[in-house]
Amino acid sequence: MTHIHDQAMNYVYQQMLQRLLSFFSRAERTALQLMIQRLVVAAGGMERIGDYKVLAIQSGSRDSCYTLALLRAAQLSIAGRAPATFQLRVASLRMNGASSMAQENIHRSYSSLFLYDDPRVEVLMVDNREVLPFSHPAPISDAGREANRLNVLMVGHRRTWSGPIDLWDDGYLATGEFYGQIARWDGGVDALVSSDTSRQQKQFLEGLKRAAAKAGLKTSSPVETGFDELFALLDEIGSDCYRAFYAEQGQAAWRPAERFEACRRTTFIDIQDMLVSNLEERWPLLTEFLGFQPDELAAQISDNEFVSLSISAHVRGLQACFVHGRSYEAGVAEYLQRALVMMRRKRLPERLCEQAVAVFGNPARLSEQRGLAAAEAQKSLGLNEAQLVCLLFAPFVENGAALERFLRQCHPGMLVAMPDLHRAMQGNPVSEQILQWMVDVSGLPVGLLGTLYRMGPVPGAEGRVVDPDADGVDLPSEAADFGDDAAVAGEGSAGH
């Protein structure tokens, strides 16, 4: 760039900064100065800030967009009064369950903050373990979609049929692996900056450790703190979190391989204490400046950020119908009632409760809702209803311990073929018809079913189901497991 062009762009950036700061309250402006001070100290002083690189993860959630706005304000504020400012890497992970709304929120926030053409900012995404420039119109690649589908199933099947419905734990594993790798990419980064609350950090680390156990990875002591221990945990589980599932055939390698640093130098900078405004005060900045479009209902009652609200309710209905011998409607009704209890406990606006009842509480609409949710699961996750039901029973692990129960409940006509199913998973030849049935019902190739078959029980798989709003009160495992504290609190679901 020419000197004149640089001057013109710097003027544009400073004009944008002034508009951004006009949305900040007095308290937020004070917090911004404290954040700048924290970053300068971490860098080793203002004379070293130009060589300091900060990583921000962008999921399209309300809080990740807000945090990015704060970081951009800090970056440009320093640039306005010093010879150099810190470098910023912003990265997102492409996953099957990500909503189009989340992708649009990411793109609009990047555009509003003028990130795309600023040489001090890297805007990246990861698709099927490949690091690429961010491109919001590009769908997830076919290879990435299939790898993600297989990972969801392999991790999801590592449970007992009567245990908590942690079907989407692969989201924690994929995200953890992404954190570890993107921090080593192209010279690495000095710090990961996050505004996640202590409870969100702890919930993520617990989910990551639970998912790692399902993937056959050993981790040490229970989570004691927050993201201060994230990178130590990631080093412990290694750079390929799925190696126990795929053995020699493996998945795609992280690439381009030559651009990853062998060692990571990243530390964690926690800025949760700097989020001084409440949610209502942030809406003008989010909606008017960043162009953020919320889905408030999903933000309050979604099971987690890795699957949509409608799919979560659909799975509860399927569990009631096929696992517990009740009606689909009863499962959805139970899901709704628990959601309403938690929403009212948090004193959320009654309009959100009414919205939840309108979506899930009308028996006349449930048949239509079930069809729409099934179509969404097929489109976004690549799973049909039969495969979701199979996932609920997890019939293949531990030498097919729950296989007979699954067949009696869902496929009684296949009971006569049960010996052949065991033989197939043991690697012995059986008829093509049997093999095709196994693939159709599970969504997995027979070789991977054999891998699950040989895997023993997951340590702690019968663990309690905890309601995060009940101060540790245990709940029956049959009850809906609203395990994602962040999502229940409306603090972090993608696209919300």
Same domain flag for 279 and 350:
no
Integer-rounded Cα radius of gyration of the chain: 24
Same domain flag for 276 and 167:
yes
Same domain flag for 236 and 271:
yes
Looking at residue 302, its pLDDT comes to: 64
Closest by CA to 118, choosing from 88, 139, 147, 144, is 88
Closest by CA to 420, choosing from 408, 406, 437, is 437
Q: pLDDT per residue over 337-366, tens digit each?
A: 888 888 888 777 787 788 788 878 887 788
Looking at residue 483, its pLDDT comes to: 38
Cα gap 156→442, rounded to integer Å: 11
Cα gap 60→291, rounded to integer Å: 11
Same domain flag for 270 and 209:
yes
- The helix (H) or strand (E) run that includes residue 101 is helix 100-112
Are 271 and 39 in contact, with CB atoms under 8 Å apart? no
* Residue 351 backbone zone (phi > 0: left; psi -120 to 50: alpha; other: beta): alpha
Give the count of alpha carbons within 13 A of 287, CB side only.
11
Same domain flag for 79 and 153:
yes
Does residue 489 sit within a domain?
no
Looking at residue 163, its pLDDT comes to: 79
Same domain flag for 310 and 203:
no
Looking at residue 4, its pLDDT comes to: 82
Q: Which one-letter DSSP state was computed for residue 216? A: T
Looking at residue 299, its pLDDT comes to: 61
Same domain flag for 148 and 248:
yes
Distance from CA of residue 208 to its chain's centroid?
11
Looking at residue 462, its pLDDT comes to: 45
Same domain flag for 193 and 316:
no
Which parts of the chain have pLDDT scores under 70? 1, 221, 223, 248, 277, 296-304, 459-496
Q: pLDDT per residue over 98-131, tens digit each?
A: 888 889 999 999 999 999 999 999 999 999 999 9
Domain that holds residue 318: 296-384
Q: Which residues pair with 123 in a beta bridge?
A: 90
Does residue 390 sit within a domain?
no
